Chain A
Amino acid sequence: MTLAQQLPMIVVILPLLASPLCVIAGNGGRAKLLMLLVVWICTAISVQLLSQVVDSGPIDYQFGGWEPPWGIAYHLDLLSVFVLLLVCGISALVLSGGHKIPQEVTEDKVSYFCALILLALSGFFGIILTADAFNLFVFLEISSLASYALISMGKDRRALRAAFQYLIMGSIGASFILVGIGFLYMMTGTLNMQDMSERLPALTDTSTVRAGFAFFIVGIGLKLALFPLHFWLPNAYTFAPAIISALLAGTATKVAVYMLLRVTLGIFGINFALEQMPLDRLLLILGGSGVLFASMMAVMEDNVKRLLAYSSVAQLGYMAMALGLASAAGVTAAMLHLFNHALMKSALFLAIVPVVIHVGGFHLHHLRGLGRTMPWTMAAFSLAGLSLIGVPLTAGFVSKWYLLSSALEQHLWALVVLILIGSLMALIYMWKMLEEIYFKQPENPNAAAAEAPIQLLIPLWILVAANIYFGIDTDLTVGLAEQATQALLGAHP
């Protein structure tokens, strides 16, 4: 086997192996450098994998050459490499942005910090690529445990409580997924997802499969912060170090949505998951209420990070709703929004990083007058915000267009109205912040709030540029999302 054929393995193993090296490398700049190097290599690999899959179809990788029923296999189709590239790219950009900023964690913890980030990423990559259900659980726990620790490193002591809360909820969620895997294994006798999906259609009448399905959905719902299982998310994002909020906002929930897509459509198949079981209605209702409730909370919130976190819950609601439409258009819309939302939310959180560091807080009043003192950062924040609202020529508009189209296609008027009201509320909560930024005088004009360093501005503006680019040229995003949908739904005619 050549090196090129080992790429799917390398992308997961590399951060995993580099993680202890980071600890060894110590607290100087070396740990950070190693982490960045690894993340950028992974990004390069994922670009390579994407082009391979686009050119020559899905890749199957078998660990140690063992055939699937015995060995663990990776299956790389369009959806997985698409999400892999997204997660790699976002984390590479966000982490580069955080690179030179005086860290929010104390200096003696930097090496652990980097090691944990690599562990979390390794877990994410594993979840995305694996074709083995139990392997999925293991990687889920790797990423989750790393995330709990990362969140607890926030300066505020409430970060500890947020991490603890997340740990309890996350562990319960993961355990539910484990039970679900157990039920499926009992019925199908395999852990390989492809084998499962082939054997399941004959077994869908059994209550075991149904129970397994229910456990899966609740478990993933917890990880996904699907309303009303979202309570851990606002706390976690609020008190985590700012750079971690930016990282997780663009990756963790996206991986959870990916799991939902993979499990419902990839394993159970659209017929069973969304038609035989009432998941479609459930997702529509929960997604819809999530959009309304979380947007409302965001409108009333004064804490910028928490506001953005609630906005994330609302946006996840959109994705759940789109999937609940149980149509090709809906799935495409969900995937598109997954991609676009990662772009905008990580840009927004990344723009908050220098605010936290220079101004010293993340309340609305900390934003006052920053339009003058940090013009470039705030311009990026505004543009990403416009994308979140769904203004034309931004990625958010493309998402909105597809969401609305898929709802209109089925004449679900209530849903159309809901989506529109959601974006109106996004307008309100974004504007609340923009008015503080551009209309208010700085609270404490003497405090030197300087422009963010160029190392942060470059990745930030790359994210913003991506927001605009993918709002104008959608060949890549829409094309991939449509093909991935076909591949996913085509497996279960």
Chain B
Amino acid sequence: MSETLGLFNYWMVVVLMMSGLYVVIAQHNLVKKLVGLSLFQTSIFVFYISMGKVDDGFVPIVTEGVSQYSNPLPHVLILTAIVVGVATLSVGLALAVRIRESYGSVEERDLDTADGVEPTEVGDA
């Protein structure tokens, strides 16, 4: 029991990650895909943040009378990763906007139809 509960953060990470992945795969709307991707990445942020926690550890700020601190490094790392995630999301959204401009839709089915009737080239599965 304690094992299951003790790994609670990992369970959440897995649930979030899989939901995100599912959304990426199952949704045909490009914006929703990006939402899924963000969810997926967020699960990894949670994973990093929770892993820095040391049992009975204190906030990693030097304080009188505290000898046990949580590990601050993963938190620092994940700041970078969050920035990367934001950048990815913005590039993705920018692409979605451009796709919307040239195709008039962000639904994959519409895009497929649009490409399917394109006379010059075929074979874009």
Contact = CB atoms under 8 A, between A and B. Distances in A.
Contact of B123 (A134, A149, A303): A303
Given A138-B80, A164-B30, A171-B37, A182 B88 contact: no
A157 B121 CA distance: 12
Contacts of A171: 37, 41, 88, 92
A137 interface: yes
B98 A160 contact: yes
Contact of B88 (A156, A167, A302): A167
Interface in A229-281: 235
Interface in A149-177: 149, 152, 156-158, 160-161, 163-164, 167-168, 171-172, 175
B123 A164 contact: no
Interface residues of B, number: 34
A129 to B, nearest CB: 18
A182 B87 CA distance: 21
**Chain B binding site: helix, strand, loop or mixed by DSSP?**
helix
Interface in B67-125: 73-74, 77, 80-81, 84, 87-88, 91-92, 95-96, 98-99, 102-103, 111, 115, 118, 120-121, 123-124
A52 to B, nearest CB: 30
Given A148-B95, A161-B111, A168 B24 contact: yes
Contact of A179 (B44, B88, B121): B44
B12 interface: no
B55 to A, nearest CB: 14
A304 B52 CA distance: 50
Nearest to A185: B74
Contacts of B98: 152, 160
Contacts of A185: 51, 73-74
Given A141-B84, A301-B123, A182 B92 contact: no
A160 B102 contact: yes
B40 A178 contact: no
A134 B80 contact: yes
A175 B40 contact: yes
Contact of A152 (B77, B88, B95, B118): B95
B7 to A, nearest CB: 12
A223 interface: no
A172 B37 contact: yes
Contacts of B92: 164, 167-168, 171
Interface of B: 21, 24, 30, 33, 37, 40-41, 44, 47-48, 51, 73-74, 77, 80-81, 84, 87-88, 91-92, 95-96, 98-99, 102-103, 111, 115, 118, 120-121, 123-124
Given A172-B40, A301-B123, A302-B123, 15 more contacts: A141-B87, A148-B91, A157-B103, A158-B124, A160-B98, A163-B95, A168-B37, A168-B92, A171-B41, A178-B44, A182-B47, A182-B48, A182-B51, A306-B123, A361-B120
13 contacts: A134-B80, A138-B80, A138-B84, A158-B115, A160-B102, A161-B111, A164-B95, A167-B88, A167-B91, A179-B44, A191-B73, A302-B123, A306-B123
- Which 10 pairs between the two chains have the least Cβ-Cβ distance? A157-B102, A141-B84, A164-B95, A160-B99, A171-B88, A160-B98, A167-B92, A134-B77, A178-B44, A175-B44
